[in-house]
A and B are shown apart, each in its own frame.
Chain A
């Protein structure tokens, strides 16, 4: 479809808002088809494919407003209503990128304590409408890819790498790739069959499997045996936190941190904290003293202000409120925000001195 026709469709809807003001035409159209709205991104769960005993791939058809611009390796936010309330999580896209696709896929492993992940794997019926957040993340495949690559993958960390491999396969640009994949047992290896097929198909792709229940976890000293030229390869690592910590430490020691890309699925608020201060929640009439490590969101919740929140890791922007005055710091990267009346994300920021928020 040509870009011009998309624009004119937008224009039609904008003109239509004269008929539907103060609502948008999408507010009516979504009642005809739930995907016909771009106000909040939505998706229709087309299929739930069982991958292993405890993991499933959700094939989702996104609605209007989805840009099909995700880069292989990125994650998306998914929001589902549990007991009437939207809960958000982020999952890597496992399907390859497409210019103009029809569906995207995410692969989810049910965590023992994770109510939402269990629901996604075991309870989600095809046909369910979910909310989506646009793709984000820097753990991505460069285009064109480097000539030699190394993937170090543990457990469900395979999902972003799978999107990269599928993209390389689809484009027919598979370079020299070594992939190490740790999993407790053969049965728990997500995408094992497909990886073996890809290995057979592409001369450049070599898969190294490690079953940690019997063979023990990866000893980084053995990396040279798995891949003799690992030091010359740009590396992407994704997996459980202890594995990533060990890999990051190992690369740091050898001064190779520049060629390592990491994807962590927990929020790293390791940046410099704020200095703390007094937070004033203007409309709720609440105040609280906070230190520089407490996020604005946590502080507001402690003060019993009804703070909006979503993913709680800086992805979905549901938690955005207006900072009336004062300065806050993004705990992920140290960026500071302090324009008057600036909308800010509260889940990843902390106060630098006294602040007033419009909530």
Chain B
């Protein structure tokens, strides 16, 4: 069932929800006041490791290309290091820096306003589609474009169409071409198709995407292969493999955030007069964590703490583990579900939903705790139809580089 009132669903009174909000605000305040040199050292170390891996990976490939004996092992090691570097950059570094998690350091080199990440989507568009649209309207049908990314049917409330029969194929394509799917996300192809998109804005965005995408492609498929001489083909393949690995991994992690069973959807009515505390509650009910060791969490950009991330998108990711202990205690106290499980189970549930929803609702049973509300038309909102942005989701500014191209 898509929920129209989070208080009612959680069986909490207004008083209790407000109290919950105050307790969450207190957790935020405590972290904000205790951010220190160790946190700064964490992100700087992460950046150092990531850039080291990227450089080592590239060098290994080029060196391997010019040495017959070491060719194969160098290529394998280089691909692995490059893939790992891309994953770290996109997940634990780029995504989190762009949320403003490290803005408090007052370091222009690690700041949401000018970070550009190693993927096809321009940072500015990501900060709009993700920080604002997805984080503010999380799992609200018709508002959150991340429910299926305009490609997949991910809620029973979304009307079925014969096109959805192809979902297993679209899903596989989305997973392997994930960075390009993300690149086109903020462009909003649906609005373009309907002729609702402002043409100047569309052109500006397209120019951004083309410029960024061109540089990314040149780097991985022209410049580095050229440096490998006769072995250009294997370097090209290695780079494609690293990109593919990053695509598949980030796709899987992201699909574990809001699509496992227990992560609920909401109707538009929930947004009416929603208080800050109710927004908190919606984030807790709409997100799903997964369990794992420290390495898995870092490689996932700390999105295994999706619930904590959605409550506090701009607090440093290395503090999510300690925040999670407190949030979990609050969930117990207020009897709010806290959705979590091993990675394979969470992704398995998401995948099963993709398969099931490729066919009409009547053919399958629902896996959510309550029956669905009647299907509604999908319609993507424009910014003019939305409330203004909440500050804690992370800034949205045009980078200086982008400004100069306006």
Which B residues touch A341, using CB under 8 A? 403, 406
CB distance from A129 to the nearest CB of B (A): 11
Residue B13 lies at the interface, judged by CB distance under 8 Å to chain A:
no
B35 touches A84 (CB 8 A): yes
CB distance from B260 to the nearest CB of A (A): 31
A84 and B37 in contact, given A22-B117, A283-B395, A322-B403 (Cβ under 8 angstroms): yes
Residue A40 lies at the interface, judged by CB distance under 8 Å to chain B:
yes
Which B residues touch A23, using CB under 8 A? 51, 116, 118
Binds A, one of B67-75, B104-112, B171-179: B104-112
Residue A19 lies at the interface, judged by CB distance under 8 Å to chain B:
yes
1/0 per residue A66-90: CB within 8 Å of B?
A: 0000000000000001011111000
CB distance from B120 to the nearest CB of A (A): 10
CB distance from A119 to the nearest CB of B (A): 13
Q: Which of B58, B106, B219 contacts A86 (CB 8 A)?
A: B106
Residue B371 lies at the interface, judged by CB distance under 8 Å to chain A:
no
A22 and B389 in contact, given A31-B48, A83-B36, A322-B403 (Cβ under 8 angstroms): no
Q: Which of A22, A27, A84, A358 contacts B215 (CB 8 A)?
A: A22
Residue A21 lies at the interface, judged by CB distance under 8 Å to chain B:
yes
CB distance from A280 to the nearest CB of B (A): 10
Which B residues touch A322, using CB under 8 A? 397-398, 403
Residue B391 lies at the interface, judged by CB distance under 8 Å to chain A:
yes
Residue B38 lies at the interface, judged by CB distance under 8 Å to chain A:
yes
A285 and B391 in contact, given A84-B40, A85-B105, A86-B107 (Cβ under 8 angstroms): yes
Which B residues touch A318, using CB under 8 A? 106, 108
Interface residues of A in 278-292 (CB under 8 A from B): 283-286
A18 touches B391 (CB 8 A): no
A39 touches B109 (CB 8 A): yes
CB distance from B343 to the nearest CB of A (A): 29
A85 and B117 in contact, given A284-B389, A305-B391 (Cβ under 8 angstroms): no
B219 touches A19 (CB 8 A): yes
Q: Which of A18, A81, A359 contacts B397 (CB 8 A)?
A: A359
Residue B234 lies at the interface, judged by CB distance under 8 Å to chain A:
no
CB distance from A313 to the nearest CB of B (A): 15
Interface residues of B in 271-300 (CB under 8 A from A): none
Which A residues touch B54, using CB under 8 A? 28
Which B residues touch A18, using CB under 8 A? 215, 218-219, 223
Which B residues touch A310, using CB under 8 A? 106
A39 to B107, CA, bound (A): 11
A331 to B391, CA, bound (A): 28
Q: Point out which of A84, A285, A358 has the most chain B C-beta atoms below 10 A from its C-beta.
A: A84
Residue B39 lies at the interface, judged by CB distance under 8 Å to chain A:
yes
A40 touches B118 (CB 8 A): no
A358 to B403, CA, bound (A): 12
Q: Which of B103, B108, B118 contacts A306 (CB 8 A)?
A: B103
CB distance from B325 to the nearest CB of A (A): 22
Residue B180 lies at the interface, judged by CB distance under 8 Å to chain A:
no
CB distance from A83 to the nearest CB of B (A): 5
A118 to B135, CA, bound (A): 43
Which A residues touch B223, using CB under 8 A? 18-19
**Can you list 11 residue pairs at the A/B interface with Cβ under 8 Å?**
A19-B223, A27-B109, A31-B48, A83-B36, A83-B37, A85-B35, A283-B389, A283-B396, A284-B389, A322-B403, A343-B403
> 12 extra interchain contacts, Cβ-Cβ under 8 A, other than A21-B215, A81-B40, A85-B35?
A18-B215, A22-B216, A23-B116, A28-B51, A40-B107, A84-B38, A84-B40, A87-B106, A285-B389, A285-B390, A308-B106, A308-B113
What are the 9 A-B residue pairs with the smallest beta carbon separation, nearest first?
A84-B40, A22-B116, A285-B388, A284-B391, A86-B106, A21-B215, A84-B37, A83-B36, A283-B396
